Amino acid sequence: MKRKQWAVVVGVVVGCGWVPVGCNSPLIRTQSPEVEQAAAPEVDSWADEESPQLVGDVTRTFGLHLLKVEGVALVNNLRGTGSDPPPSPLRDILLSEIRAHNVAGASQLIASKDNALVTVTAYLPPGVRKGDHVDAIVKAPVGTKTKSLEGGYLLPVRLQEMRLIQNRIRTGSVTADATGPIVVDAVFDGAEDKVHLLRGRVLGGVRSRITRPIHLVLKEEYRSGRYSARIGRAINARFHYYDRGVKKGVAKPINDKLIELQVPLHYQPNVRRFVQVVRRVAIAETPADRAARIEMLGRKLLDPTTAASAAAELEAIGEEGAVKLLTALKSDDPEVRFYAAEAAAYLDYEEAAEVLAEAAETEPAFRWHALAALTAMRQVAAAEALSSLLHSTSAETRYGAFRALRKRNSRDPLVQPDAMFGEVEYHAIPSDGPPMVHFSRSMHQEIVLFGSDMPLRPPAVLFAGRRILLKGTPDGRIKVTRFSVDEEGDTHVVCPPRLDAVLRTVGELGATYGEMLQMVQQAKRNGDLEARVVVHALAEPGRPYYRDKKGAVESASAARKEQGDRTPPAADVAELESDPQSFPLDDTSPSDLASAASSRSGANRFWSRFRLWGNDE
């Protein structure tokens, strides 16, 4: 079979071994989205035929795809906009799911117009750990009589891999759970049509039940227990992690064909980087050969055309290669400086922080990678560099720095919420940059004000949902009224004409995340708010870096055109904390994987992991 044909088969056969056919349900229509891997730089030839020099020359990687998991669930709290679904396989699945949670009266629950049947999809990234969270994508099925999912709450649902086999839906084991409030796409897209009201997200609402390791599959000509053990020892001599305080190597040889890799915590922001570096680890090398290779790599590092590959290989060497990286930080070439700083950051050298902050600020092509590297660092200098970026003029640099600070240390006072309104996290960040308010579309219902003293002109009329009204008062303040449907009467609060005060007030009065976003967007459109309003400003990996014939970067205006300050279009794939554009198709063939897996014990064989929907786990 041709190479391209194998690449297509891997995404279908390796995940579960079956090809779905004959069903239009979103549950089983497509496989996990995967992106073709960029061609890896050529590595140096072997020192000799008997001792391959680098891990990447004798292995292929498996496990760098997104794992698609799905389920059928019930959404409640819809205030009459739901529907009773007609008889269908999806309804049968939902009944089984409700009964699996020991809930009585399943048929009555499904029939209520305050509830609706939905499909739920999530993508677990490579290296995800048990307990990690990702977004859930929620959709009402085609042909539904449900009018809107706005204000709905996704009841607990189990997510699994699914395939259609002989007209029956079969699943693997439960790999994730999902629940939480839904934010409909209409809130973010500003479109009130039915399509946008019938799909949405539960931000961070999926909890993984599994840890997904990466695997190395030995090429056929190198398959032996001896090579597998040697490769494992070489990798473990360079990388380790801690399990309940016990230091362990990241590589676990399974047999003569397969090696399991655990992703170290500081590489979690960029899993692909970890794999790139592991593939450059030397299997067998004398100290003299290593010294010669370091000198050669030091020369390559100073050439912009070979700097990226040389930096990754020096990073794979570890401390001995760091001296060349630190020297290259002083280069006049911005590309050389960045690649050296990125590698030095994963080795946790504080000298890298300033260079990475400069790259994140000035070059969009480096921004995502620079922020990921700063996130990986444990040095105080990295936190200081990220804090300085909170004052940037670029929306994605400022918010990216905030998000990186929280990933580094969620207990940092700077990133602790100033207030919580139900599920909504509210942050007011001191910033010298232009005033900006940011709303997240991934992982958190989160509002971040960069600069808290933002004036809001008293509006003639402004709504935060159906029950909260804002109007200006004669003395220049803003009156916020929450209308009540019971006997308690309406609630009235007068606050200063500041966005910070207004958001806190409507939040305390019960406005939802979507209602607060729509209120701010309407104030901006009316001219009542001069601050910038941004949704989901996250840096993107895979941007091109422009170098002229002399090796210098093109002008900033030509290179970026302020790419960082525009809201990217909505996507059906949940935003990942790792590089979502660089997860390649696994370069193992199906026969390689099946052969490697078959060497395990019979209890863990591939086919034994499937069962019919509704059966016990």
DSSP of 54-67, one letter per residue?
BGGGTEEEE--S-E
* Average pLDDT of every residue of the chain: 80
CA neighbor of 305 nearest in space, from 540, 37, 583, 549: 549
What is the rounded average pLDDT of the residues 72-85? 90
Pick the range with the lowest mean pLDDT from 162-171, 221-230, 498-507. 162-171
Position 4: which residue type?
K
pLDDT of 539 higher than 50:
yes
Give the phi and the psi of residue 69 in degrees, each rounded to 5: -125, 150
- Whether the Cβ atoms of residue 499 and residue 457 lie closer than 8 Å to each other: no
The helix, strand and coil proportions of the chain, stated in percent and rounded to the nearest 5, come to 35, 20, 40
Backbone conformation region of residue 453, classed left if phi is above 0, alpha if psi is from -120 to 50, else beta: beta
pLDDT of 615 higher than 50:
no
pLDDT class of 5 with cuts at 50, 70, 90: very low
Q: Tokens representing 512?
A: 């939802």
Task: Select the highest-mean-pLDDT range: 108-112, 172-176, 379-383.
Answer: 379-383
pLDDT of 87 higher than 80:
yes
**77-97: buried (b, 16+ CB within 10 Å) or exposed (e) per residue?**
ebeebbbbbeeebbbebbbeb
Place of tokens 């990475």: 356
CB within 8 Å of 264: residues ≥ 6 apart: 239, 240, 241, 250, 274
Q: Check residues 597 and 234 and name the one with the higher pLDDT.
A: 234
| pLDDT attached to residue 171 | 73
| pLDDT attached to residue 487 | 60
| pLDDT attached to residue 598 | 45
pLDDT of 581 higher than 60:
no
Q: Check residues 549 and 324 and name the one with the higher pLDDT.
A: 324
Place of tokens 């020192």: 47
pLDDT class of 551 with cuts at 50, 70, 90: very low
| pLDDT attached to residue 395 | 92
What is the rounded average pLDDT of the residues 301-318? 94
Backbone conformation region of residue 151, classed left if phi is above 0, alpha if psi is from -120 to 50, else beta: left
What is the rounded average pLDDT of the residues 356-384? 95
Q: Within a 10 A sphere around the Cβ of 358, how many other Cβ atoms?
A: 18
pLDDT of 585 higher than 50:
no
* Helix intervals (H) in 46-129: 89-100, 106-111
pLDDT class of 190 with cuts at 50, 70, 90: low
| pLDDT attached to residue 548 | 65
pLDDT of 484 higher than 50:
yes
| pLDDT attached to residue 29 | 38
| pLDDT attached to residue 99 | 83
pLDDT of 547 higher than 60:
yes
pLDDT of 224 higher than 50:
yes
pLDDT of 39 higher than 60:
no
CB within 8 Å of 595: residues ≥ 6 apart: 257
Q: Within a 10 A sphere around the Cβ of 429, how many other Cβ atoms?
A: 23
Give the whole-number percent of the chain exceeding pLDDT 90. 54
pLDDT of 573 higher than 80:
no
pLDDT of 31 higher than 50:
no
pLDDT of 188 higher than 70:
yes
pLDDT of 179 higher than 90:
yes
What is the rounded average pLDDT of the residues 48-71? 81
Give the whole-number percent of the chain exceeding pLDDT 70. 78
| pLDDT attached to residue 576 | 33
Pairing between strand 436-439 and 532-535?
parallel
pLDDT class of 341 with cuts at 50, 70, 90: very high
CB within 8 Å of 448: residues ≥ 6 apart: 399, 402, 427, 429, 437, 438, 440
Query: Taking the chain, what is the end-to-end CA distance rounded to the nearest angstrom?
Result: 37
Position 442: which residue type?
S
Q: What whole-number distance in Å separates Cα of residue 362 and Cα of residue 360?
A: 6
**342: burial class by Cβ within 10 Å (0-12, 13-18, 19+)?**
buried
CB within 8 Å of 139: residues ≥ 6 apart: 26, 118, 119, 121, 198, 199
| pLDDT attached to residue 239 | 93
